[in-house]
Amino acid sequence: MIPWLIRSTLLLTAFYAFFMLFMRRTTLFRLNRIILLAGTAVCMLLPLLRFNAEGAAAMLGLPSPAEVLPLPRIVIPEALAAGSPEEGGTAVSGGFDWRTLLLWVYAAGCAAALTFTGLSLLRILRVVRENPGFRYKGRKVHTPGTTLPSFSFLNHIVISRSDYERHPEILLHEYMHTRLRHSADILLMSLVCALYWFNPLVWIMLSELRMLHEYETDEAVLKHGIDATQYQLLLVRKAVGDRRFLIANSFNHCKLKNRITMMHKLKTSKWAALAWLACLPLLTLILSSSSDVDTPVTPFDSSTPAVTEPTSPAADQQEVIRYVDVDVKPKFNGGDMNEFVKWCAGQLKYPEEAKNAKISGRVTVQFIVGPDGSLSDIHIIRGIDELNGEALRVISLSPAWTPGYENGKPVPVTINFPIYFQLPDE
């Protein structure tokens, strides 16, 4: 879950930042609204897809993502994701389960955001129930006698009795909100905010979506023949109001200056909508750079010969089992895979040739832990010419492991182990 959350957060942040920088001040209100909602869904779903990162960039005619956009690669290696057998498949570090702590913190934030939304819904329901109202163009209009700010939610319009009698433009405004189904947008975006409560840009986009609703509604109201000057004066008079119904579309919306400015602004050319296409390569690069999917390849063929040990006889006679599938995981120095990570970190030396050429990246080594604990069939399944030799050297130096067990018997276990080479300035 954590890798998906991180990747989708990166995509959403880039997508929303693109909107804020390039599309926010255009008058393409409906188009921007649709793309914001659809783009949010796409950014949440894309990290769930498995695809060839380099291939996706090549299809768009782009260089390798690692060369153009060196964002951190979010990877949970197969071995680390499985953890030790005693922990039931959950990796631990130093006896402290930080993943559980993160999960509880994240769940608490989600619960707080949902509670915030729920309270606003309860306030709306209370007003609707206390004021039965009447039908108006397929909508239910509620006219409380108190000085309540006008707002709409789904097919319900709440407008004070005095505003209903004196200002028909307010009723038209709220009716257009219901007709354009703005409440559904707010509900969906509120759920997104609950999932990504830790990302301030998501909350900003909820506010921006509300503003798009107001721009779109103001435009629709003026098209119905309402005098623009009188309408703007009414907005000014109603600018200060109660904001208890945050999930509803309220006539007394904040950022009044922006709304009036948009009414006077020249219409943006429809060709400006093509600017959204520029966002696609950006999202592709970010998703590629944060992908943990390795494309199956044959053993790496490079100028550095692969250090391949002969497969043990036991491994020839027994079926090799993946690390994630074996009942009892192999152990290194009596510990879990984290112990092997620490050992490798102490043995690795950055190749001078790669350092001088500023070459960095990931090398994935595959090896088998035999029934006797020895390592065999060590080879590169994905790598970089200048870094492969050092990765193979370190894995080949590994002392014997405690073998893995299946049905109470020691068995050969295959492990895919990624090694990251990073320069100091990265």
Mean pLDDT of the chain: 75
Q: Which residue has the tokens 């690669």?
A: 73
Helices and strands: H and E segment counts in the chain: 17, 11
Output the CA torsion 138→144→148→149 (10° steps): 10
Neighbours of 47 (CB within 10 A): 21
What is the Cα–Cα distance from 47 to 107, expressed in whole angstroms?
20
Regarding predicted confidence, which is higher, 273 or 19? Answer: 19
pLDDT of residue 76: 37
Exposure string of 76-98, with b = 16+ CB inside 10 Å and e = fewer, is ebbbbbbbbbeeeeebbeeeeee
419: which 2 tokens? 């090694």
Neighbours of 195 (CB within 10 A): 19
pLDDT band at 175 (very low <50, low <70, confident <90, very high): confident
Regarding predicted confidence, which is higher, 261 or 303? Answer: 261
How long, in residues, is the chain? 426
pLDDT of residue 234: 72
Residue 344 to residues 78, 305, 389, 391, 393: CA-CA distances in angstroms? Answer: 17, 20, 14, 9, 10
Percent of the chain with pLDDT over 70: 69
Rank 75-84, 187-196, 318-327 by mean pLDDT and report only the highest.
Answer: 187-196
Strand partners, 93: 96
Query: What is the pLDDT averaged over residues 363-386?
Result: 91
Query: What is the pLDDT averaged over residues 19-43?
Result: 84
pLDDT at 423 over 50: yes
Contact 380, 395 (CB under 8 A): no
pLDDT at 417 over 80: yes
Amino acid letter at 316?
A: D
Angle between helices 2-18 and 98-130 (to 10 degrees): 60
Neighbours of 113 (CB within 10 A): 21
Angle at 284 between CA 280 and CA 289, to 5 degrees: 150
* Lowest mean pLDDT segment, chosen from 165-169, 285-289, 355-359: 285-289
pLDDT at 314 over 80: no
Regarding predicted confidence, which is higher, 258 or 310? Answer: 258
Q: Which residue has the tokens 């049905």?
A: 407
What is the Cα–Cα distance from 332 to 310, expressed in whole angstroms?
21
List CB contacts of 51: < 8 A, sequence separation 6 or more.
291, 293
What is the Cα–Cα distance from 402 to 384, expressed in whole angstroms?
30
147: which 2 tokens? 């000085």
Regarding predicted confidence, which is higher, 228 or 184? Answer: 184
What is the Cα–Cα distance from 85 to 90, expressed in whole angstroms?
8
Instruction: Write out pLDDT tens, residues 203-238.
Output: 988 888 888 888 888 888 888 877 777 777 777 766
pLDDT of residue 380: 92
pLDDT of residue 81: 39
pLDDT of residue 86: 33
The terminus-to-terminus CA distance of the chain in angstroms comes to: 26
Query: What is the pLDDT averaged over residues 414-424?
Result: 85
Is residue 67 classed as helix, strand or coil in its secondary structure?
A: helix
What is the Cα–Cα distance from 100 to 92, expressed in whole angstroms?
10
What is the Cα–Cα distance from 284 to 404, expressed in whole angstroms?
39
Neighbours of 70 (CB within 10 A): 13
Query: What is the pLDDT averaged over residues 348-360?
Result: 85
pLDDT of residue 286: 66
pLDDT at 108 over 90: yes
pLDDT at 405 over 70: yes
pLDDT of residue 300: 32
Instruction: Write out pLDDT tens, residues 59-91.
Output: 445 454 444 444 333 333 444 433 333 333 333
Angle at 213 between CA 209 and CA 216, to 5 degrees: 130
